[in-house]
Amino acid sequence: DATGKRLNKFSKSVFLNPADMGATLLPAVTKTTEDKQKKKLKSALVQDDGVCFFSHLNGNKEWFDSEKSIAIQEKLGADLIVAFDDHESPLWDYETTKLSLERTCRWGLESLKAQKRKDQLMYGIVHGGRFDELRRFSAAFTNKYFDAVSIGGAYTSKDVLFQMVSACVPYFDEEKPRHLLGIGEIEDVFESISRGMDFFDCVAPTRRARHGSLFISPKNGGRRENSFVFHITNQRFQTDPEPIDPGCACHVCQNFTRAYLHHLFKTNELLGHQLATHHNLFFITKLIANIREAIGEGSFHLLKNDWLSPKK
RNA sequence: UCCGCGAUAGCUCAAUGGUAGAGCAAGAAGCUGUUAACUUCGAGGUUCUAGGUUCGAGUCCUAGUCGCGGAG
């Protein structure tokens, strides 16, 4: 498919593929971003040409801009890199969001200018908060200047998220990889792919795993309502001899029971986090592989229906 | 046998004589471009027993039971 062809151009991969225990390598994406949402940090000062922030390690004043971001990403050597952008707040009004978007546009062009390596594909980032007009402008702008496009931003709800994706996608050229930054949960992945997105990056599978929520497929009770997870710490799994997701081919499901995972979490054994993380990564990776296959066979809508609207 | 100290939520402990609380455990929920192991919530009690003083006792008095320490 278009995505696969695109990626074959880039050979230096650094991620192990959990689906086959790292036998094949996955392309890597890096990005750098300023984040002023975290309360505990001394707030970062966003200026027109970059961001001034304070190191959480030693309190030192640091300066970050497009040039620095791209230099770091070139040094890391990922296959796909991301332009430097301003991360808006969903609470901002139209005018503030517009100012932020102008900054993102300028920084995007600066990022392209700062790029020296030719073997890394750079994503531009669409912003504009919840404002349809700003999103459409940003989508057209990003598509015009970048060979790969991504949608960023913090979303107040799934409705807003899907609405914004739908608004942006028509502005993207067919052959350009489209990445949805920071999304998602399984439902969001299905809905976003339906609307034309290709790539995702998200902390949910790994963070959920560390917090004890493990992915299960529809045949084992995974539903839109439970985000396709269950809590391994729940008492009812104390003596459950089943694997996490019966039928799952991952190393953890092949070798360990829910009861054992329950025990590891209850006793605070970090091995529990490791096994849970392995399962969740395998699960989401395998799901995406299945989706890709279904798209190739023209049966994506059936697969989506099996997951999001299963027959009772 | 005597002296002292103690007994309050599953555990460890709070509570000038005035509505018995906390931490942990146990139970559940949340987590979307990551400061790894987080955050939130509800539930949980005949205050060892039996009397007494008091308007009112976890708290003061008496006796007992159990535990810890000391003396003999």
Residues 6+ apart with CB under 8 A from A297: none
Distance, angstroms, CA A210 to C1' B8?
A: 37
Rounded-to-integer distance, Cα A198 and Cα A108, Å: 21
Q: Give the pLDDT confidence score for residue A90 in this predicted structure.
A: 84
**Splitting chain A (312 residues) into consecutive groups of 10 residues, what average pLDDT does each group show?**
32 43 58 47 74 73 89 90 90 91 95 94 95 96 96 87 96 96 94 95 95 96 95 96 96 96 95 96 95 96 94 66
In our burial notation (b when 16+ CB lie closer than 10 A, e otherwise), range A118-149 reads eebbbbbbbbbbbbeebbbbbbebbbeebebb
Q: Is A257 helix (H, G, I), strand (E, B) or coil?
A: coil
Report the pLDDT value the prediction gives residue A88, as an integer from 0 to 100.
86
Q: Which nucleotide is closest to A157, CA to C1'?
A: B32
- With vertex at residue A108, the alpha carbon angle to CA A103 and CA A112, rounded to the nearest 5 degrees, is 150
pLDDT value of residue A189? 96
From CA A205, how far away is CA A213, in angstroms rounded?
9
pLDDT of residue A56: 65
Q: Which two tokens stand for residue A300?
A: 């994506």
Rounded-to-integer distance, Cα A143 and Cα A109, Å = 12
Within a 10 A sphere around the Cβ of A78, how many other Cβ atoms?
21
Q: Which nucleotide is nearest to A187 (CA to C1')?
A: B32
CA A220 → C1' B13, Å?
A: 45
ipTM of the complex: 0.84
Quickly give A265 CA vs B37 C1' distance in Å. Answer: 10
Q: What is the pTM of this model?
A: 0.87
Q: Return the ∠ at Cα A30 (arms to A25 and A33), rounded to 5°.
A: 160
- What is the predicted pLDDT for the residue at A233? 96
DSSP A80: E
The answer to whether the beta carbons of residues A181 and A127 sit under 8 Å apart is no
Residue A33: per-residue pLDDT: 53
Nucleotides of B under 7 A from a protein CB: 26-38
What is the residue type of A97? T
Calculate the angstrom distance between C1' of B2 and CA of A166: 88
CA of A113 to C1' of B24 (A): 56
Distance between CA atoms of residues A286 and A252, nearest Å? 14
Pair A104, A46: CB distance under 8 Å: no
Q: How far apart are CA A264 and CA A262, in angstroms?
A: 6
Q: Smallest Cα–C1' distance to nucleotide B34: which residue has it?
A: A203
Considering all nucleic acid strands, name the nucleotide whose C1' atom is nearest to the C-alpha of residue A39. B35
Q: Are A165 and A134 in contact (CB under 8 A)?
A: no
Angle in degrees, CA A107, A108, A113, rounded to 5: 90
The integer distance in angstroms from the CA atom of A261 to the C1' atom of B29 is 20
Judged by DSSP in three states, A289 sits in: helix
| Nucleotide nearest the Cα atom of A180 (by C1') | B33
CA of A241 to C1' of B17 (A): 57
